Amino acid sequence: MPISPPMRFLSAAVLAFGLAGFLGGCSSTKDKDKDAYQERPVEELYNSAMNSLSRSEYKTAAKEFDEVERQHPYSVWATKAQLMAAYAQYQNSKFDEAIMALDRFIQLHPGHRDIAYAYYLKALCYYEQIADVSRDQKITGQALDSLQEVVRRFPGTKYALDASMKIDLTRDHLAGKEMAIGRYYQNQQQYTAAINRYRTVLDDYQTTTHVPEAMHRMIECYEALGLEDAAKKTAAVLGYNYPGNIWYEDSYTLVTGEKADPPYGKKGSSWLGWIGLE
């Protein structure tokens, strides 16, 4: 059935109105996009970002620092903004984003006066993510590598000093992971596997707080396996290096069947004497 002229007019009018609305919407969107981008003086942008940072508005600060580089890529402020954007991401616990930004800064500006800080901040991004020893320690290994790189590249700096302290804590954490696995194997009566884990602590983490316990646990495993000589020799080393330590006292009792009562040496003056190996 043919459409009457009034209906044809109405259809055309609706189509024209819809098209106009669509075009008007596009125009409005373009106007908004145009209004959203406002080129501003570099000092104004940078100061605004710093103000956001001081108010702990880290997400906003990171975006504003990025805007400094976007609008003024060849200015001195752009280089500073790259590093500050990474710092804002770090403060906002956006560690992956911070690491990416720092890697870019390091690649673009290897001779920058703040390059040591960039390496240090990257190490902190890994360090802050160190997980409980019950979880995977991949991040802990990355933290250790990054901290060691700071010490190697920038010895004598305040960053190297702090990194050295964190290295000790990180290594202690990695040793703790080995101890946790060793205890698990020991509880499962898989003594050889447990000994291997404890030996890793002795070989790779000699300066950590876990060494005395690792030696004591090895002695327990040797005793369980009937390896009396190995148990006694390990106890002797433990006593020589950690006299008076609680783990040494437990080992003394385990090997001799007697309560530890310093000075240890009932069977001789040497550490081998009191366990009968002389």
Which of 214, 234, 210, 212 has its CA nearest to residue 223?
234
- Residue 180 scores a pLDDT above 60: yes
pTM: 0.73
The confidence band for 276, taking pLDDT boundaries of 50, 70 and 90, is very low
pLDDT at 141: 93
Query: What is d(CA 88, CA 94) in angstroms, rounded to the nearest whole number?
Result: 9
Residue 176 or 257, more confident: 176
Q: What is the pLDDT of residues 231-253, one digit of tens each?
A: 999 998 998 888 888 898 888 88
The CATH 1.25.40.10 domain(s) of the chain lie at 41-172
In this predicted model, what pLDDT tens digit does every residue of 128-154 receive, in sequence order? 999 887 788 899 999 999 999 999 999
> Could you tell me which CATH class the domain 41-172 is placed in?
mainly alpha
**Residue showing tokens 């098209």:** 19
Q: What pLDDT, on the 0 to 100 scale, is given for residue 277?
A: 46
Whole-angstrom distance, CA of residue 264 vs CA of residue 115: 54
CA distances in angstroms from 43 to 17, 61, 86, 91, 191, listed in the order given: 46, 14, 19, 23, 66
Q: With cut-offs at 50, 70 and 90, classify the pLDDT of residue 262.
A: low
Q: What percent of the chain has pLDDT over 90?
A: 63
Q: What is the mean pLDDT of the chain?
A: 83
Residues 212-223 have pLDDT tens digits of 999 999 999 999
Cα angle 191, 196, 207; round to 5? 125
**Are 56 and 93 in contact, with CB atoms under 8 Å apart?**
no
What is the per-residue pLDDT across 42-95, written as a single tens digit (0 to 9) for each? 788 899 999 999 999 999 999 999 999 899 888 889 999 999 999 999 999 999
Tokens of 163: 């990194």
Please state the rounded mean pLDDT for residues 156-164. 96
